[in-house]
Amino acid sequence: MQSTSSISSLIWSSADDVLRGLFKPSEYGRVILPFVVMRRLDCVLEPKKEKVYELYQKFKDQFDDPSPVILRQIDLPFFNVSKFDLSRITSGQVSLDFSNYVQGYSKNVLDIIENFQIDPLIQKLNKNKRLYLLIDKFTEFDLHPSKIDNHQMGSIYEELLRKFSEMSNEESGDHFTPRDVVKLLVNLVFGGDTKDLSGEGKIRSIYDPCCGTGGMLTIGKEWIHANVNPNLKINLYGQELNDVTYSICKSDLLMMNENPENIYGPTTSISDDRLEGEKFDYMITNPPFGVSWKSEKEFVDKEAKDPNGRFFAGIPRSSDGSLLFLQHLISKMNPEGSRIGIVFNGSPLFTGDAGSGESEIRKWIIENDWLECIVQLPDRMFFNTGIHTYIWILTNKKSMHRKGNVQLINASSFGIAMKKNLGEKNKFIPEENLEKIFNIYQKNSDSEFSKIYSNQFFGYTKVTIEQPLEKKGKIQLDRNNAPKCDPKKREFERIPLSMDKEEYFAKEVSPYLMNSWMDNSKDKVGYEINFTKYFYKFVPLRDLEEITKDLRQIDQKINEISNF
């Protein structure tokens, strides 16, 4: 069996034979991706193609809309009443046949194809006599479900998207998340709640506000059915900004007999929440890293003034909207209990001093005891960045043994090198290591890779230290006969919430600044999480004699080479 990577490479290279010279490589994706979707639709529908055509001819004059009758008899969520599919389009009147083929799709598929916005591309292909050549190329690819299952098909879409993103200098991480990261995330979110997922007659919901091609949603559902409860009814919901990935997601769900109408877009869930007021049992997502939200700032600022709004706790800096997505998810937690899994870069852990929007959001989350666990992943895990990334797990139904605490897991050493780089990605987490990480999470105890801290541990008070204004050696007084402060000498101290401020001042400040005092009217409480500090391992310096010995050996080798 061919790998998904080799299939996507074959599709790309075959299309390149036709598109080269007519389109820029950065434009290929806009042509290739909709044709992959249409070829997959053809392959799914193929066994019932003749029956659909016959049913349509039979009922088209009896009903204004024969769709319900056709769908009921073919047991598929879509159809195509045209006598054509990609393999039956002829070279003689290719443009007319192709148009007839596309218009033959049921409305749910037509909506998907329209979002690909392929009409001008088709006209350009046809004008340059390459439309039939491209169609003919795609008929060579066997994308039947019996040969390529839904999971593999999703991987093909994502691999093509990665190629598309590299060619157009887009952020491939905006479109999808590596499957090993998704597996770990769903393991932590759902594996930490198996009791609620077990039993008969239950219905649960999963939501992703940046759903991309829908991989997180479908893998999440597959994981629950395979590992916890095969009979659980799970409804999938999502919203996606990118029109191409939105179309792929809807088409993928349609072919999996899911409800594509639960996927909204193409629009952002921050300023255009299409599921406003809805609550979900589980939420999983990988929002774009470090992406500006300036275009939505006016909307966010206005909602932040509403005590019942999503962003009332705080607003992050406009250069990175990651924490906006987290607040969005928290607003959709069921009062009965929800779990959230979200992928972040390091910025949401520590960016922003006490009183800043980021710190206020962290304070709000931790003081409400929603933060359950954070896992540091290895570097070089993503296709578009080599930085360390983190999975945050939040819930409003912590188990008793987790209440009041946060578990930090350092899994940065659990990745192994790949044989071939994929963009920036050159590491993956093998199955056995995914299991190790989950076992560490389940044990919830201190170890080499796990630290348990109380919520208060992450908080501190930023205290203003004032010193007197002096003139000609004398301390200047205000009208209340108190020392005037000198703004130029003002300093700040971060005092952990676990420590008494007066004791700290007496021990750490007063002995070194004799006439100083704390202005507690300016106190600000902040929160940050410093992974590097908590998992730091001291490495003793090498002995000087040992270093000298090594240097002498190097000199000796250099001399030997020179003499040779």
HEC per residue, 194-207: HHHHCCCCCEEEEE
Q: Which residues contact 269 (CB under 8 A, 6 or more apart)?
A: 209, 210, 239, 241, 275, 325, 328
pLDDT tens, residue by residue, 441-476 = 999 999 999 999 999 999 999 999 999 998 877 888
pLDDT tens, residue by residue, 52-71 = 999 999 998 888 888 999 99
Domain segments of the chain: what residues? 4-145, 171-444, 458-534
Whether residue 172 has pLDDT greater than 50:
no
Q: How far apart are CA 105 and CA 45, in angstroms?
A: 11
Q: Give the per-residue pLDDT at 169.
A: 55
Residue among 140, 56, 170, 150 nearest 105 (CA): 56
* Greater pLDDT, 557 or 503: 503
Whether residue 523 has pLDDT greater than 50:
yes
Question: Which of 129-138, 348-357, 359-368, 383-392 comes out lowest in average pLDDT?
Answer: 383-392
Q: How far apart are CA 229 and CA 197, in angstroms?
A: 7
Q: Give the per-residue pLDDT at 1.
A: 54
Question: 285 near 278, Cβ under 8 Å?
Answer: no
- The burial class, CB within 10 Å (0-12 / 13-18 / 19+), for 115 is buried
Question: 39 near 86, Cβ under 8 Å?
Answer: yes
**Cα 210 → chain centroid:** 7
pLDDT grade, residue 478 (50/70/90)? confident
Q: How far apart are CA 162 and CA 4, in angstroms?
A: 13
Q: How far apart are CA 249 and CA 244, in angstroms?
A: 9
Q: How far apart are CA 498 and CA 169, in angstroms?
A: 47
Under CATH, which number does the domain 171-444 receive?
A: 3.40.50.150
pLDDT tens, residue by residue, 328-375 = 999 999 999 999 999 999 999 999 999 999 999 999 999 999 999 999
Q: What is the mean pLDDT of residues 504-531?
A: 94
pLDDT grade, residue 168 (50/70/90)? low
Q: What is the CA radius of gyration of the chain?
A: 30
Q: What is the mean pLDDT of residues 107-112?
A: 92
Residue among 182, 128, 217 nearest 434 (CA): 182
Q: What is the mean pLDDT of residues 319-329?
A: 95
Q: Which residues contact 163 (CB under 8 A, 6 or more apart)?
A: 8, 12, 28, 29
Concatenated DSSP letters for 116-146? HT-HHHHHHHHHTT-HHHHHHHHTT----TT
Question: Which of 64-73, 223-232, 377-386 comes out lowest in average pLDDT?
Answer: 377-386
* Greater pLDDT, 43 or 291: 43
pLDDT tens, residue by residue, 401-413 = 999 999 999 999 9
